[in-house]
C-alpha cells in the first residue's frame, strides 16, 4: 500500500501563510510603537547628482550661446539703423551750419544797402544749395518715422521760401531783404514760456529737426533688443542658474568627496557671465571673440567635474 503523506495543519505544504507569518509581515510594516513605518526616500548617489549638475551647467552655457546669437543678430540690425540715423544727424548739423552762413551773407548784404546792385551774392546761393543737399541726404536716415519725414519736407519748404524771398529782394529792396532774413532767423512762437517746435525760421526749424532725430536715435539705441530692461534679465538668468549649480556642486564635492572644488568651477562661471555683462553694457561683441569664450566656459565646466566622476569609472571585464 502506497502511503500518503498526512496533511498537517497550518497550510505549510499548500503555500498558505501561517498566522505567525502574517504577524511577521505586519511587524515589518509597523514601527516598534505600533505606528506605520514610513519608507525612507531614495537619495541619488553623489555621482548621479554631479552628472545632473554638470548637464545643467553645460546647458546654461548652451543657453547663453543661443541668446548671444539671437540678440547679436537682432541688435545688429537695430544698430545698423542707428548708424544711419547718426549719419542723418551729421547732415542736419551741416545743413544748420550752412543756414547760418546764408544768414550771415544776407546780413552783410543788408549792411551795404546795395541789394539792387550786388544781389544776394554767390555765397548765399552756394550755402542754400548745400542746405538742400544735406536735407535730402538726411532723409535716408530718418528715424522719426512719418513725423520726421513730414518735418524734413516742412523745412525744405521753408528753405525754398527763403530762397524765393532773397531772389525777389533784388526788386523789393531792403523790405524784401528783411523778409528773407525773418524767414531765416525768425524766433519761434511760445506756449507758456516754452518755444513751440517748427514755428520759427529756417535755422530754428533745423535745430528742432535735429532734436527730433536725436530723440529717435537714443530710442533706437535703448529699445527693443538693446533695451536694458530686456537684456539684463535675459542674460543674467542663465548666469544665476549656473551660479546655483556651481555652488551646489562645490558643496557636494566638499561634503561627500572630501575634496576641494576645482578652480575650473568659478572660471567657467566667470567666462559665461562676462559674455552676458558685455551684451548688456556695450554693443554686441564679435562672434570671433564671444564664441571662443563660451567654448572655454564649456570646457572648463567639463574639466571641473571630470576628476570626481572619473573616480567612479570602472573598467568593464
Which 3 state secondary structure label does DSSP give 144? coil
Q: State mean pLDDT over 39-68.
A: 83
Average pLDDT, the chain: 83
| 89 CB-side CA count, 13 A | 17
Lowest mean pLDDT among 126-135, 166-175, 262-271: 166-175
Is-above-0.75 flag for pTM?
no
Q: Tell me what pLDDT residue 7 has.
A: 45
| CA 301 – CA 5 distance, rounded (Å) | 72
Assess contact for 262 and 303: CB atoms under 8 A: yes
The pLDDT score that the predictor gives to residue 295 is 96
Torsion, CA 104, CA 110, CA 116, CA 119, rounded to 10: 0
Residue 112: exposure state from Cβ atoms within 10 A (0-12, 13-18, ≥19): exposed
- 310 or 78: whose pLDDT is higher? 78
Residue range 82-109, pLDDT digits in tens: 999 999 999 999 999 999 999 998 888 8
Most confident range, picked from 49-63, 83-97, 119-133: 83-97
Range 265-289 average pLDDT = 92
Bigger pLDDT: 228 or 314? 228
The better pLDDT of the pair 257, 260 is held by 260
d(Cα 176, Cα 109) in Å, to the nearest integer? 12
Q: What is the pLDDT of residue 309?
A: 66
Least trusted range by pLDDT, from 84-98, 115-129, 132-146, 237-251:
115-129
How large is the average pLDDT for residues 196-205? 92
Cell 505600533 maps to which residue? 34
Give the pLDDT score at 303.
87
**260: which residues sit within 8 A by CB, 6+ positions away?**
253, 254
Biggest distance spanned by C-alpha atoms of the chain = 159
Contacts of residue 245, defined as CB under 8 A and 6 or more positions apart, other chains included, come to 53, 56, 57, 60
Higher pLDDT: 141 or 37? It is 141
Cα 131 from chain centre: 36
Grid coordinates representing 53 are: 549638475
> What Å distances lie between residue 247 and 240, 253, 301, 306, CA to CA?
11, 10, 13, 16
At 190, give phi and psi (nearest 5°).
Answer: -125, 145
Main-chain phi, psi angles of 14, to 5 degrees: -85, -5
Of 88-92, 122-126, 288-292, least confident by mean pLDDT is: 122-126
Least confident of 58-62, 173-177, 236-240, 278-282: 173-177
Q: How far is 280 from 228, CA to CA, in rounded Å?
A: 6
Q: How many CB atoms lie within 10 A of CB 171?
A: 9
Amino acid at each position: 500500500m502506497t502511503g500518503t503523506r498526512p496533511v498537517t495543519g497550518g497550510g505549510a505544504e499548500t503555500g498558505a501563510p501561517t498566522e505567525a507569518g502574517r504577524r511577521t509581515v505586519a511587524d515589518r510594516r509597523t514601527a516598534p510603537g505600533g505606528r506605520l513605518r514610513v519608507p525612507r526616500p531614495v537619495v541619488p548617489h553623489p555621482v548621479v547628482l554631479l552628472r545632473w549638475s554638470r548637464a545643467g551647467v553645460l546647458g546654461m552655457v548652451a543657453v547663453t550661446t543661443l541668446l548671444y546669437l539671437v540678440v547679436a543678430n537682432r541688435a545688429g540690425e537695430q544698430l545698423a539703423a542707428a548708424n544711419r540715423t547718426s549719419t542723418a544727424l551729421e547732415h542736419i548739423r551741416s545743413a544748420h551750419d550752412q543756414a547760418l552762413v546764408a544768414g550771415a551773407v544776407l546780413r552783410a548784404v543788408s549792411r551795404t544797402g546795395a541789394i539792387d546792385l550786388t544781389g544776394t551774392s554767390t555765397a548765399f546761393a552756394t550755402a542754400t544749395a548745400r542746405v538742400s543737399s544735406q536735407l535730402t541726404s538726411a532723409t535716408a536716415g530718418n528715424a522719426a518715422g512719418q513725423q520726421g519725414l513730414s518735418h524734413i519736407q516742412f523745412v525744405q519748404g521753408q528753405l525754398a521760401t527763403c530762397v524765393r524771398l532773397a531772389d525777389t529782394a533784388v526788386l523789393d529792396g531792403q523790405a524784401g531783404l528783411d523778409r528773407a532774413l525773418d524767414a531765416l532767423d525768425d524766433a519761434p512762437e511760445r506756449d507758456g514760456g516754452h518755444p513751440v517746435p517748427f514755428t520759427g525760421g529756417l535755422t530754428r526749424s533745423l535745430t528742432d529737426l535735429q532734436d527730433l532725430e536725436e530723440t529717435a536715435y537714443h530710442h533706437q539705441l535703448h529699445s527693443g533688443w538693446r533695451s536694458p530692461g530686456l537684456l539684463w534679465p535675459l542674460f543674467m538668468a542663465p548666469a544665476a542658474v549656473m551660479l546655483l549649480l556651481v555652488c551646489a556642486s562645490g558643496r557636494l564635492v566638499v561634503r561627500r568627496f572630501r575634496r576641494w572644488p576645482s578652480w575650473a568651477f568659478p572660471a567657467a562661471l566667470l567666462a559665461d557671465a562676462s559674455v552676458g555683462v558685455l551684451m548688456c553694457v556695450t554693443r554686441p561683441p564679435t562672434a570671433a571673440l564671444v564664441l571662443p569664450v563660451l567654448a572655454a566656459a564649456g570646457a572648463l565646466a567639463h574639466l571641473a567635474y571630470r576628476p570626481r566622476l572619473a573616480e567612479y569609472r570602472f573598467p568593464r571585464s
